[in-house]
């Protein structure tokens, strides 16, 4: 008999498959029926999110899965109820399974401007497929080795034993504790270096969580199932060399997975509030704000579902803060444009990189230090229990041989 634990990772996948089947049905029925039958998609889709806790390895997988499912739900809602795709078109016949599949997971809308039918068979040479799979497997191995042997133990490896108080709520603040403010507990050199290394480590781990999942599924769909071509799985992230402003960090380097699903929902809200009448600049700013707000809301829902009740407001505040800083950054760049004309481009980029790192140096611990603090507290509690157990068993042993 197979235990539930052995089957548990398949539970969210089964719910996702059921929701995908529901999408296939909804896509091929008239719009009026779609509105009535929407629960047949929403219920299993939400259960695919709610059962993310069944995915226990690696430890970050449940969070990545939960966020991906929420983005996917927004993508499907956009196709069915915002774009209102017809039951058939010039490039898709009704009840066309392959064409529906191409729409199903095309969250970044790569197939929007396809000139050929997406229902055609994927023609990929065996050599190209093998090269693609081999390169992606190598990437996963590199990610695994760097994460396990370098970035995960990086801070204790450099700074030695760590104490929980070094990551508590007081340690999350930095600027207010600089010596120039005559604070009772000013920041130390050790604390500054820990914060700097933590910032690099935090960016890396968040990058790897998303890109490793994307790489793994590209291997499955291109190399194993052979449903897609390598061109349909382009890089999730851009070059980090493009992130010499916070706006470019989010727009050029970080993944754009949320943009198309969230901008569709944002346009609906903007339309209801008649934001367009305020001018194109106001409308664009409002849409960007809602994209960041929706990102924070999705992270808050994941945090709330995982039991981290204190993090949900912080998640929303974090993304709204990024929007506010990007808006301020744009104003400052416009004011400084006369000066930038006299500076070489490489110097402007270096200043930009320093600014972006400084922002994350300040912001990342505010969002992530509490996780490290809880882990260290749990580790201290575990050590104390082990020491108490050893003491207790030692006392029993001593009494036994009196």
The answer, yes or no, to whether residue 122 has pLDDT greater than 80, is: no
pLDDT at position 204, please?
94
pLDDT at position 259, please?
92
Q: What percent of the chain has pLDDT over 90?
A: 59
Residue 92 and residue 116 in contact, taking contact as beta carbons nearer than 8 Å: no
The model's pTM: 0.86
Residue 146's pLDDT band (boundaries 50, 70, 90)? very high
The answer, yes or no, to whether residue 321 has pLDDT greater than 60, is: yes
What is the distance between the alpha carbons of residues 298 and 304, in angstroms, rounded to a whole number? 10
pLDDT at position 314, please?
83
The answer, yes or no, to whether residue 114 has pLDDT greater than 70, is: no
Residue 349's pLDDT band (boundaries 50, 70, 90)? very high
pLDDT at position 116, please?
41
Question: Which among 34, 46, 71, 19 has a CA at the least distance from the CA of 261?
Answer: 71
Mean pLDDT confidence for 101-128: 67
Burial of 82 (0-12, 13-18, 19+ CB in 10 A): middle
> 164-210 pLDDT, tens per residue?
998 988 889 898 888 888 778 889 999 999 999 999 999 999 999 99
Average pLDDT, the chain: 87
The answer, yes or no, to whether residue 84 has pLDDT greater than 50, is: yes
> 1-34 pLDDT, tens per residue?
344 455 588 899 999 999 999 999 999 999 999 9
Question: Which among 49, 78, 79 has a CA at the least distance from the CA of 62?
Answer: 49
> 376-392 pLDDT, tens per residue?
888 888 877 776 666 65
Residue 156 and residue 353 in contact, taking contact as beta carbons nearer than 8 Å: no
Residue 206 and residue 198 in contact, taking contact as beta carbons nearer than 8 Å: no
> 285-320 pLDDT, tens per residue?
999 999 999 999 999 999 888 777 666 778 899 999
Question: Which among 15, 10, 14, 16 has a CA at the least distance from the CA of 75?
Answer: 16
Residue 247's pLDDT band (boundaries 50, 70, 90)? very high
């Amino acid at each position: 008999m197979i235990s539930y634990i052995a089957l548990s990772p398949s539970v969210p996948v089964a719910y996702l498959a059921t929701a995908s089947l529901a999408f296939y049905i909804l896509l091929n029925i008239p719009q009026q029926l779609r509105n009535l039958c929407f629960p047949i998609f929403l219920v299993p889709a939400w259960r695919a999110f709610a059962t993310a806790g069944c995915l226990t390895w690696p430890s970050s997988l449940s969070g990545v899965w939960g966020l991906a499912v929420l983005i996917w739900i927004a993508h499907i809602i956009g196709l069915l109820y915002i774009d209102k795709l017809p039951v058939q078109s010039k490039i898709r016949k009704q009840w066309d399974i392959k064409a529906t599949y191409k729409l199903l997971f095309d969250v970044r809308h790569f197939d929007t401007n396809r000139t050929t039918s997406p229902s055609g068979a994927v023609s990929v040479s065996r050599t190209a497929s093998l090269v693609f799979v081999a390169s992606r497997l190598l990437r996963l191995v590199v990610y695994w080795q760097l994460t396990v042997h370098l970035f995960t133990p990086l801070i204790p490896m450099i700074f030695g034993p760590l104490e929980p108080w070094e990551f508590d709520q007081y340690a999350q603040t930095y600027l207010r504790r600089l010596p120039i403010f005559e604070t009772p507990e000013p920041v130390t050199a050790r604390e500054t270096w820990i914060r700097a290394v933590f910032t690099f480590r935090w960016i890396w781990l968040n990058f790897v969580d998303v890109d490793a999942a994307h790489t793994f599924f590209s291997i499955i769909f291109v190399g194993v199932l052979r449903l897609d071509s390598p061109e349909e799985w382009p890089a999730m992230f851009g070059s980090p060399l493009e992130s010499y402003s916070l706006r470019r960090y989010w727009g050029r380097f970080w993944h754009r997975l949320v943009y198309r699903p969230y901008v569709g929902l944002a346009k609906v809200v903007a339309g209801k509030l008649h934001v367009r009448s305020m001018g194109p600049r106001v409308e664009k700013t409002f849409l960007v704000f809602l994209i960041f707000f929706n990102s924070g809301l999705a992270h808050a829902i994941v945090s709330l579902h995982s039991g981290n009740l204190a993090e949900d407001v912080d998640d929303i505040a974090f993304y709204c803060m990024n929007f506010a800083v990007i808006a301020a950054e744009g104003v400052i760049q416009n004011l400084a444009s006369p000066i930038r004309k006299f500076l070489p481009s490489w110097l402007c980029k270096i200043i930009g990189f320093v600014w972006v790192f400084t922002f994350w140096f300040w912001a990342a611990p505010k969002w992530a230090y509490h996780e490290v603090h809880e882990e260290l507290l749990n580790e201290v509690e575990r050590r104390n229990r082990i020491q108490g157990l050893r003491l207790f068993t030692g006392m029993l042993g001593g009494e036994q041989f009196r």
